[in-house]
Amino acid sequence: MASFNMSEKAIIYNYILLTSQITIELEDVFAGKKLTEQQCELLKNGAILLSKIIEGATLVEGKEFKNGLTPSMEGLSIYGYALSTIRELNLIRNIKEKEFTEFFEELHNKIQKLIENRVGKGIDISLLKNFFYTFGVSLRGDVQKENYPTEKILSFNKRKQMNDYLFT
Amino acid sequence: MSVITKKEIIKFMNKTKIKERLFVTPIFNQNEFFDASSINVRLGNEFIVMRKQSFPLLDISNSTSKDKIRKYQEKIRIGFREQFVLHPRQLIIGSTLEYISVPCKLMCYVIGKSSWGRMGLIIATATKVDPGFKGCITLEIINEGEVPIVLYPGIPIAQLVFHETSSKENYNGKYYCPTGPQFPNFEKNIEDWKFWFPKN
Amino acid sequence: MTIYSPKLIEEYVLETISRVRVIKEQCENLLSKDFASQAPKNLAQTHINICHYLETAIKSIYKDIDWKNIKKIESSFILLQTTDSIIREFGSHIRYIDGAQTQKVPWGLISPLEKYLKRFLSDVEILFRPQWKYNYAIIPTNLYEYYSKTLSSYETHVKNKNLSEILKPLKKYFYIVSFPSIERENILLHCLLGHEIGHLEAKTYISSRNKEFLKLIQDKIADVVNQRIKKPEFKNVPEEIMPQIKQEITQAYLKETSEIWERGLEEILSDIVGSFLFGPAILFSNLEIALQDLNGLDITPGKDNNYYPPWRMRLRNIYQVQRDLKLFPLQKKAFQSKPIYNNVSKGFKLVENIIQEKSDEQMLKSNDLLKIVYEEIENDLVNAKRLILIKLSELFLLLNPDSFYKNLSHLIEKIDFGVPPNPYENSISKRKPAAIVEIINAAWFYKLSWKYRLFDKKNQFNENIFSKRERMNRLALKAIEYADMEKDYSDWSSEKNRKPS
């Protein structure tokens, strides 16, 4: 991922904290406990995060924006981390071409159902838990890279290669 | 030559040719600015203060005196509407707020305002300003009174009394268009004064 | 001992809280220092409040750890680590406050510059500070929003403290603008701060166009990606992971293209705003900076150069603004001094020659993605420029060549004579404080009018030119300070006379 500016960093920090908090609360759900009002509020933020990811996916897949979602830079950036998460969780084989949007919409529906029902019965909590946890790992990795960047090696060839990757 | 009065001062300030003009800037309040035979100048907001704890003595014959002066004296800036408290026997170097350009046919003296003098505040010890001088005039300020005095940058602190010179002279001094108080500079004179210093 | 042992976590929390307290103490020390404006102290006080807030949050997170569940311990520890990372990040902001101390900034410039720029962006508070890195820069993120967004995650942990109270000392729009420390006394380049402020206006325009741009390039990028994955290096990729690869490449291309568009448009728009605000001075100062670029005037926008548009293009746009405002060609009648008129005109002509070459445009057209992006930028510039012009006109900030050049000669003459270029005065009864724009341009025109050689006929280095340059900078800076004071005093005096005694 490219390094980010301050406003992106605020978003990243926000999401790292959110995903950690959600992971904690989903442990309670996994253990069969009923969600409190406060926990539901937290999960609603999780649903908003998933909406952003869906925005990114819709844009990348060239699909029609639904449910009041619109193209956004935040969605596009966050979607990169979501793809990283899919890769990390080895979910690639579960998703066909041009169905990434649907995959994340499914996740969104799961979390909405959980908020409504307040219990995890009939919902794949494992997938939600793993997704949010791994998503957080992906974000944290980039913050760490940002805080401790490796030294750039000036090389004509390296620069040429980077530009070639994108612009040929 | 006699002291020039307000009317003449204004004439010099209105001269068309820039080289002949007396420049004073800024001017805030013309009523406060002019006296009958002088102009009032204000206290600037940069000061050189002494750091007595730095070293025991100041000897200009020493070749490292310039560095030592910088150790002994420190430039500070006081914001407008902020206080500077001058304690009894304390010496500071300040300057006029105003930047003055004296034409070649004039010279002036800096004289402290009597109100301050009555409180023990001595404004200027090196008082002469040569023809052709341009810059903020450095003021040596010392509190000879018994109590600390609070100074505020911007307040009228001294007056300039002008004389016409018998002939035109150009400024040939050490300080080049200063815009604040200047550290003492003996470098130009040291070679000529070596006769009077001990032989090492 | 596992990383999640209570003892290790407890020690970690202790150290984190220590860091918070050190930051708080540093900020408290800084509150006793002198600054040229209120902005640094506001930031210091805000950080003191944030430190209290985060310390409470850390304690709350620690107390809430469910030691019976290893997954919960792990996630709680991540919360603590992230909070610690935020604390360290916020702690690094102290350098902004520390750097803004009076003796480190051209303090005579700060207040008048703030006032001038606030006419353009009224609700904004700006902290000016030097940096040793050679760059004029703005952090275009609103610090208030940054702190607010980052800290909002802790609202469940810090229930009795209102975030808006914590951030109260900061204005709702707070930005950091930096200038190179070694150029502190160089008044001529400080008009580049106008470009930095321009970033804020540019960002407003860009965020209003973001969505449209993303929709616009969707299909074009899809085509580019489809071509890309036909290349030999993708031949052996297993079919089942190809969808993922395609998604990743598309996401990367879209993001990269958006960044090129944003950066390119932002820089050029900022140049345009600076150009409107500071006139010819911006053109000449940008030329000076452009000459420093080791990559030359036609660098391809890319990751390595932060997607900056080529200098030639930037100069072209700045120059065009000068022509739009009719600031060039120079008005001959306004300049009695031929050297000034001739040499400044030569300066403009030099830029004209540079921008007449179209090598930058050819370079951009030769690359498919850059071609797409820069065509959009061209369209955006027409629209954005029109909006900026309207705004400046409504705020009476548009430079009028007649009044601008009328006073300039007099101010230039003053610098040459060794007097601060303020005020404009025919006589003692007809004095008018010069504007900051006039003073900076007078200094530029004065410098451009010099006839000098660095080495004389005897091949001796000409030290006098440095004294001349140094004097010019000091006098111009002093003039800006004086003009501001005179204006303030005049306003105060008028107010005093209006009030009944």
CB contact under 8 A, B179 and C431: no
For strands C173-180 and C124-131, give the pairing: parallel
Model confidence over C376-387: pLDDT tens digits?
999 999 999 999
Phi, psi of C4 (to 5 degrees): -100, 25
Mean pLDDT of chain C: 92
CB contact under 8 A, C150 and A27: no
Chain C residues in contact with A87 (beta carbon < 8 A): 244
Chain C residues in contact with B179 (beta carbon < 8 A): 420, 474-475, 477-478
CB-based contact, A11 to chain C, within 8 Å: yes
Chain C residues in contact with A100 (beta carbon < 8 A): 243, 247
CB contact under 8 A, C485 and B26: yes
Name the stretches of chain B with pLDDT < 70: 1, 53-57, 63-69, 125-126, 173-175, 188, 200
Model confidence over C189-206: pLDDT tens digits?
999 999 999 999 999 999
CB contact under 8 A, A6 and C76: no
In the prediction, which pLDDT does C501 show? 59
- β-bridge partners, C126: C175
Q: C7-10 contacts: CB < 8 A, separation 24 or more?
A: C9/C62, C9/C65, C9/C73, C9/C77, C9/C80, C10/C62
In the prediction, which pLDDT does A165 show? 47
**CA–CA separation, B150 vs B148, rounded Å?**
7
CB-based contact, A21 to chain C, within 8 Å: yes
Report the sign of the C-alpha dihedral through residues C241, C245, C248, C251, in that order: negative
The minimum CA-CA distance between C331 and chain A, rounded to whole Å, is 44
* Chain B to chain C Cβ contacts (< 8 Å): 63
Per the CB < 8 A criterion, the answer to whether B99 and C420 are in contact is yes
Mean pLDDT of chain A: 86
Longest CA–CA separation in chain A, Å: 59
Give A11's contacts (C-beta < 8 A, 6+ positions apart).
A74, A77, A78, C149
Chain C residues in contact with B27 (beta carbon < 8 A): 428, 431, 486
Residue in C107, C431, C478 nearest the CB of B27: C431
Model confidence over A68-116: pLDDT tens digits?
999 999 999 999 999 999 999 999 887 877 799 999 999 999 999 999 9
Residue A3 pLDDT more than 60? no
CB contact under 8 A, B176 and C471: yes
Q: C370-375 contacts: CB < 8 A, separation 24 or more?
A: C370/A167, C370/C260, C370/C300, C370/C301, C372/C217, C372/C220, C372/C257, C373/C217, C373/C257, C373/C260, C373/C261, C373/C264, C374/C264, C374/C309
Chain A residues in contact with C79 (beta carbon < 8 A): 17, 20-21
Q: How many residues does chain A have?
A: 168
pLDDT band at A157 (very low <50, low <70, confident <90, very high): very low
End-to-end alpha-carbon separation of chain B, Å?
46
Instruction: Cis check for the bond before C140: say yes or no (omega within 30 of 0).
Output: no
**DSSP secondary structure string, C367-395?**
SHHHHHHHHHHHHHHHHHHHHHHHHHHHT
H/E element holding B49?
strand B46-50
Chain B residues in contact with C475 (beta carbon < 8 A): 177, 179
In the prediction, which pLDDT does C152 show? 94
CB contact under 8 A, C478 and B176: no
Longest CA–CA separation in chain B, Å: 58
Chain C residues in contact with A138 (beta carbon < 8 A): none
pLDDT band at A149 (very low <50, low <70, confident <90, very high): low
CB contact under 8 A, A14 and C242: no
Residue in chain C nearest B27 by alpha carbon: C486
Residue A4 pLDDT more than 90? no
CB-based contact, A116 to chain C, within 8 Å: no
Give start and end residues of each alpha helix (H) in C92-154: 94-99, 107-120, 143-151
Enumerate residues 142 to 161 of chain A having a beta carbon within 8 A of any beta carbon in chain C.
143, 147, 159
**CA–CA separation, A65 vs C426, rounded Å?**
67
In the prediction, which pLDDT does C235 show? 87
Please work out, in degrees rounded to the nearest 5, the angle formed at the alpha carbon of residue A46 by the alpha carbons of A41 and A52. Answer: 130
Nearest alpha-carbon partner for A4 in A147, A161, A168, A129: A147
Q: C474's torsion region: left (phi>0), alpha (psi -120 to 50) or beta?
A: alpha
Nearest alpha-carbon partner for B136 in B187, B176, B78: B176
CA C101 distance to own-chain centroid:
19
CB contact under 8 A, C482 and B99: yes
Chain C residues in contact with A83 (beta carbon < 8 A): 244, 247-248, 251
C318-329 average pLDDT score: 94
In the prediction, which pLDDT does C265 show? 96
Phi, psi of B99 (to 5 degrees): -100, 125
Give C273's contacts (C-beta < 8 A, 6+ positions apart).
C120, C194, C195, C197, C198, C201, C202, C388
Residue with tokens 């976590």: C9
Residue in A18, A71, A80 nearest the CB of C153: A18
In the prediction, which pLDDT does A148 show? 73
In the prediction, which pLDDT does B126 show? 61
Phi, psi of C103 (to 5 degrees): -70, -10
The minimum CA-CA distance between A6 and chain C, rounded to whole Å, is 6
In the prediction, which pLDDT does C406 show? 87
Residue A155 pLDDT more than 50? no
Q: Nearest 10 degrees: CA dihedral of C245, C248, C253, C256? A: -150
Chain C residues in contact with B177 (beta carbon < 8 A): 418, 471, 474-475
C216-241 average pLDDT score: 88
Residue with tokens 């510059």: C113
**CA–CA separation, C343 vs C446, rounded Å?**
10
CA C332 distance to own-chain centroid:
35
Q: How is residue C73 written in tokens?
A: 């311990």
DSSP helix/strand/coil, B39: strand
Indicate the residue type of B58: L
In the prediction, which pLDDT does C98 show? 96
Per the CB < 8 A criterion, the answer to whether C174 and C43 are in contact is yes
CB-based contact, A98 to chain C, within 8 Å: yes
Residue in chain B nearest C430 by alpha carbon: B14
In the prediction, which pLDDT does B65 show? 61
Q: What share of chain C has pLDDT > 70, as a percent? A: 99
In the prediction, which pLDDT does B1 show? 64
Residue A164 pLDDT more than 60? no
**CA–CA separation, C250 vs C206, rounded Å?**
22
Residue A158 pLDDT more than 80? no
CB contact under 8 A, C214 and A92: no
CB contact under 8 A, B134 and C419: yes
C146-174 average pLDDT score: 93
Per the CB < 8 A criterion, the answer to whether B34 and C429 are in contact is no
CB contact under 8 A, A79 and C243: no
Instruction: Report how far apart, in Å, the C-alpha atoms of B84 and of each of A35, B53, C460 are.
Output: 63, 20, 46
Predicted TM-score of the model (pTM): 0.91
CB contact under 8 A, C486 and B28: yes
CB-based contact, A86 to chain C, within 8 Å: yes
**CA–CA separation, C163 vs C144, rounded Å?**
11
> For chain C, what is the radius of gyration of the CA atoms?
27
Q: What is the DSSP letter of C308?
A: P
**DSSP secondary structure string, B78-117?**
--TT--EEEPTT-EEEEEEEEEEE--TTEEEEEEE-HHHH
CA C473 distance to own-chain centroid:
22
H/E element holding B129?
strand B128-129
**DSSP secondary structure string, A55-122?**
HHHHHHHT----TT----HHHHHHHHHHHHHHHHTT-GGG--TT-HHHHHHHHHHHHHHHHHHSS-TT
H/E element holding B72?
helix B65-72
Q: Which of B140, B144, B187, B191 is catalytic?
A: B140
- Touching A (3+ Cβ pairs <8 A), the chains are C
In the prediction, which pLDDT does A156 show? 47
Residue with tokens 């499914």: A106
Model confidence over C401-442: pLDDT tens digits?
998 998 899 999 999 999 999 999 988 888 999 999 999 999
Which of A133-137, C89-93, C308-312, C402-406 is predicted least confidently? Answer: C402-406
Phi, psi of C229 (to 5 degrees): -75, -5
Model confidence over C442-485: pLDDT tens digits?
999 999 999 878 888 889 898 889 989 999 999 999 999 999 99
pLDDT band at C331 (very low <50, low <70, confident <90, very high): confident
Model confidence over C63-92: pLDDT tens digits?
999 999 999 999 999 999 999 999 999 999
Model confidence over A19-50: pLDDT tens digits?
999 999 999 998 889 999 999 999 999 999 99
| Residues belonging to chain B with any Cβ–Cβ distance to chain C shorter than 8 Å | 10, 13-14, 18-19, 23, 25-30, 76-80, 99, 101, 134, 176-177, 179
C332/C500: higher pLDDT: C332
pLDDT band at C375 (very low <50, low <70, confident <90, very high): very high
CB contact under 8 A, C477 and B179: yes
Residue in chain A nearest C305 by alpha carbon: A159
**CA–CA separation, C368 vs C225, rounded Å?**
12
DSSP helix/strand/coil, C10: helix
**CA–CA separation, C382 vs C361, rounded Å?**
17
- Touching B (3+ Cβ pairs <8 A), the chains are C
Give start and end residues of each alpha helix (H) in C92-191: 94-99, 107-120, 143-151, 163-166
CATH fold for the domain made of B6-185? Deoxyuridine 5'-Triphosphate Nucleotidohydrolase; Chain A (2.70.40)
In the prediction, which pLDDT does C372 show? 86
**CA–CA separation, B113 vs C444, rounded Å?**
40
**CA–CA separation, C87 vs C318, rounded Å?**
41
In the prediction, which pLDDT does A168 show? 41
B140 counts as catalytic: yes
